[in-house]
């Protein structure tokens, strides 16, 4: 079996297991943990000094870390916010202001009804969803490779924003199967605090 094929099989099994694990957390606990994560995120030095922040709008169906409180906090302190939208199979940044109308897009993720492209060259921080992460800072996403391509594109343009994964602590594993195109995180924030990898 080709190495990449073996990694793909391992990743598929791990995705199913970690998504089930996350969904097993009672809603009230996920809500409490998401609030704790938001508090940690909003106190990070990287966030306080950032001008422009890209973050995902969470999908309740996927039991993700809820980012609503982060959006609220960033809006209150005047940060520019952008969110991911998918166009022609690529993840790009769209300007978002709290309370703007949203609609479910291709993979169920919320997207602004009216899309205005953000200036990605100005991004200081990218907050990234994940299914699990390991001790080296690698993350396992949903398998589309959208964030890896997004981060690689920014890097080619000379922009290297701080990459922060949002996770519940039970999503940490010792080591993930990794492909050569997988992009590592600088840190992960979970309900107990922050783990820095670089």
Residue 85 is part of a domain; what is its CATH number? 3.40.50.10420
d(CA 98, CA 25): 27
Taking only the tens place, the pLDDT of each residue in 121-156 is: 999 999 999 999 999 999 999 888 899 999 999 999
Structure-block tokens of residue 53 = 């922040």
pLDDT score for 107:
78
The number of beta carbons lying within 10 Å of the beta carbon of residue 77 is 10
Taking only the tens place, the pLDDT of each residue in 17-50 is: 999 999 999 999 999 999 999 999 999 999 999 9
Domain count along the chain: 1
pLDDT score for 11:
87
Statement: residue 157 has pLDDT above 60:
yes
Taking only the tens place, the pLDDT of each residue in 41-81 is: 999 999 999 999 999 999 988 999 999 999 999 999 999 99
pLDDT score for 111:
93
pTM of the entire predicted model: 0.94
Range of the domain at 119: 3-196
């Amino acid at each position: 079996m080709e190495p990449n094929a073996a990694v793909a099989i391992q990743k598929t099994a791990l995705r199913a297991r970690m998504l089930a694990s996350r969904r097993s957390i009672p809603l009230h606990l996920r809500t409490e943990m998401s609030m704790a994560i938001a508090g940690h995120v909003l106190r990070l030095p990287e966030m306080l000094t950032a001008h422009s922040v890209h973050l995902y709008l969470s999908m309740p169906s996927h039991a993700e870390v809820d980012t609503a409180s982060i959006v609220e906090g960033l809006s209150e302190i005047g940060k520019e916010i952008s969110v991911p939208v998918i166009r022609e199979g690529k993840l790009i940044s769209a300007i978002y202001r709290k309370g703007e109308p949203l609609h479910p897009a291709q993979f169920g993720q919320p997207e602004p009804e009216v899309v205005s492209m953000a200036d990605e060259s100005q991004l200081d921080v990218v907050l990234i969803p994940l299914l699990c992460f390991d001790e080296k800072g690698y993350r396992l996403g949903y398998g589309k490779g959208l964030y890896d391509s997004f981060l690689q594109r920014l890097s080619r343009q000379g922009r290297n924003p701080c990459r922060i994964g949002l996770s519940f602590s039970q999503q940490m594993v010792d080591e993930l199967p990794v492909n050569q195109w997988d992009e590592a995180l600088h840190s992960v924030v979970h309900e107990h605090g922050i783990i820095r990898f670089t």
